[in-house]
Amino acid sequence: MRKVSQAKSDSEIFGFRPLLETPKKRLDLNNLLMRAREEERRSKKLNLFIFSGATVVVLVFLMLISL
């Protein structure tokens, strides 16, 4: 069991961060667009890693077959 001081918050466990530090009544469109761009960048980066890994696996497999 963990001590209370070692307990992780939702932001640490799930990567959640609040929209703004101080709550506003109106929704900030610029903030939402910025989050969408960040999510798209993360998605592209992850896809590149997956594609690179798959390519490496295929190349190693072909090299082993050619021996």
Q: What is the pLDDT of residue 27?
A: 80
**59 part of a folded domain:** yes
**42 part of a folded domain:** yes
**8 part of a folded domain:** no
Residue 5 pLDDT class (50, 70, 90 cuts): low
**12 part of a folded domain:** no
**49 part of a folded domain:** yes
Structural domain including 42 reads 28-67
CB 18 within 8 A of CB 10: no
Q: Each residue of 8-45: pLDDT tens digit? A: 665 667 766 666 665 656 788 999 999 999 999 999 99
**Count of domains in the chain?**
1
**Distance separating alpha carbons of residues 67 and 60, to the nearest angstrom:** 11
